[in-house]
């Protein structure tokens, strides 16, 4: 019986090159990203188009422009890519004990400010464990297997996920001592109008849901606008102005001072989730438990 792949069933290599060209916009860019030669990527695209009978790209001097058909196929190729990497992570964990690769998805501030000591302790307890950390807030990461475990600020509603609530992360207004020494400390909401405020650029669904607790704040109120929570925190630490920050993170830095604690109080409902198919995986069980314990300690202030 022949083991050759039929023309109706293109190999994963062809889809991998296809996805690379869609994302990079050219054969050369895809070749660099994939570690292949440009002619190889070109042959893969030609072979895939011949196999499925569809033109996937319009060739032009500026690069390869995906056709409507290519854009329709893109999410399926992305799912294939995610499944392939998830398969490798699962394979890496085979054997005795906690070992292999676990991919964790978390928001910027959680991934940069909160998780490193938790992951350090986890690695010390399980030296054969390898952690991949990606900064994202999309719950789809788990359903598409782009991550094994996710830390999220909203309760996951998908039936295919196992979720554990770890508590509320408190947000408050903070400023660096140097800013307050220069500009003074506001004592009322009204006085905030005379201060430099750091805040968001685009209004998200979370911000809209928290509108009643944001008081006088709107996009027009901010002297620095960015949707990166880490960039906002960096600006606060630099003394740029007053901004939103996790209270526990600020408490770790004696140079940060909470402003108007009785006037502004917002909490983030915090959850850890993973796909139910991973419940029997030693690497994922150990990581899930470590994240629950570590984040609960962080929230309670006992870390």
For residue 265, the SS3 value is: coil
CATH superfamily of the domain spanning 168-267: Periplasmic binding protein-like II (3.40.190.10)
Distance CA 30, CA 16 (A): 9
pTM for this one?
Answer: 0.70
Calculate the alpha carbon distances from 158 to 25, 78, 163, 290 in Å: 34, 20, 9, 23
What confidence score (pLDDT) does residue 211 get?
Answer: 64
- Cβ-contact 5, 11 below 8 angstroms: yes
Task: Give the whole-angstrom CA distance, residue 65 versus residue 208.
Answer: 36
CB 278 within 8 A of CB 287: no
pLDDT of 133 reads: 93
| DSSP annotation string for 271-300 | EEEEEGGGTT-HHHHHHHHHHHHHHHHHHH
Cα–Cα nearest to 75, from 132, 23, 114, 127: 23
The torsion angle over the Cα atoms of residues 269, 275, 279 and 284, rounded to 10 degrees, is -80
Question: In DSSP terms, which residues pair with 58 in a beta bridge?
Answer: 65
- Report d(CA 153, CA 166) in Å as an integer: 10
**Could you say which architecture CATH assigns to the domain 12-84?**
Orthogonal Bundle (1.10)
Q: Tell me if domain 12-84 and domain 168-267 are identical in fold.
A: no
d(CA 171, CA 268): 7
CA distance 244 to 23: 34
Quick one: which of 4, 274, 234 has its CA closest to 147? 274
CATH entry, 90-167+269-300, from 3.40.50.2300, 3.30.70.100, 3.40.190.10, 3.40.50.300: 3.40.190.10
- CB–CB of 219/200 below 8 Å? yes
The domain locations on the chain are: 12-84, 90-167+269-300, 168-267
Please list, in sequence order, all residues whose beta carbon lies within 8 angstroms of the beta carbon of residue 43, skipping any fewer than 6 positions away: none
What local confidence, expressed as pLDDT, does residue 25 receive? 87
What pLDDT is stored for residue 73 in this prediction? 87
pLDDT on residue 8: 55
pLDDT per position in the chain (303 positions), as tens? 444 444 557 788 888 898 899 888 889 888 898 888 888 998 999 888 888 888 998 887 777 888 998 898 888 888 887 777 777 777 776 766 788 889 999 999 999 999 999 999 999 999 999 999 989 876 556 667 778 899 988 887 777 788 999 999 999 999 999 999 999 999 998 898 899 999 988 877 677 766 666 666 778 889 999 999 999 999 999 999 999 999 999 999 999 999 999 888 788 899 999 888 888 888 899 999 999 999 999 998 866
């Amino acid at each position: 019986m022949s083991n050759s792949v039929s023309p109706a069933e293109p190999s994963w290599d062809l889809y991998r090159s296809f996805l690379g060209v869609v994302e990079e916009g050219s054969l050369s860019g895809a070749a660099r990203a994939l570690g292949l030669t440009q002619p190889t990527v070109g042959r893969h695209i030609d072979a895939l188009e011949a196999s499925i009978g569809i033109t996937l790209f319009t060739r032009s001097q500026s690069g390869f422009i995906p056709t409507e058909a290519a854009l329709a196929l893109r999410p399926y190729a992305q799912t294939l890519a995610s499944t392939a990497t998830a398969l490798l992570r699962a394979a890496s964990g085979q054997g005795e004990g906690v070992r292999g690769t676990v991919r964790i998805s978390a928001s910027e501030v959680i991934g940069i400010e909160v998780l490193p000591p938790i992951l350090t302790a986890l690695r010390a307890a399980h030296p054969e464990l390898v952690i991949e950390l990606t900064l994202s807030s999309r719950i789809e990461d788990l359903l598409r297997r782009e991550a094994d475990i996710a830390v999220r600020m909203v309760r996951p509603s998908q039936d295919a996920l196992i979720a554990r609530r770890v508590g509320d992360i408190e947000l408050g207004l903070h400023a660096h001592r140097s800013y307050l020494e220069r500009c003074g400390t506001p004592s009322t909401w009204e006085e905030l109008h005379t201060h430099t405020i750091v805040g968001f650029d685009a209004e998200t669904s979370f911000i809209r849901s928290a509108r009643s607790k944001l008081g006088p704040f709107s996009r027009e109120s901010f002297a620095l606008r960015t949707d990166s929570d880490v960039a906002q925190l960096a600006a606060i630490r630099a003394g740029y102005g007053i901004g939103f920050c996790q209270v526990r993170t600020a408490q770790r830095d004696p140079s940060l001072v909470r402003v108007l604690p009785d006037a502004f109080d917002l909490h983030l409902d915090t959850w850890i989730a993973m796909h139910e198919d991973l419940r029997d995986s030693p690497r994922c069980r150990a990581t899930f438990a470590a994240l629950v314990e570590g984040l609960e300690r962080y929230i309670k202030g006992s870390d």
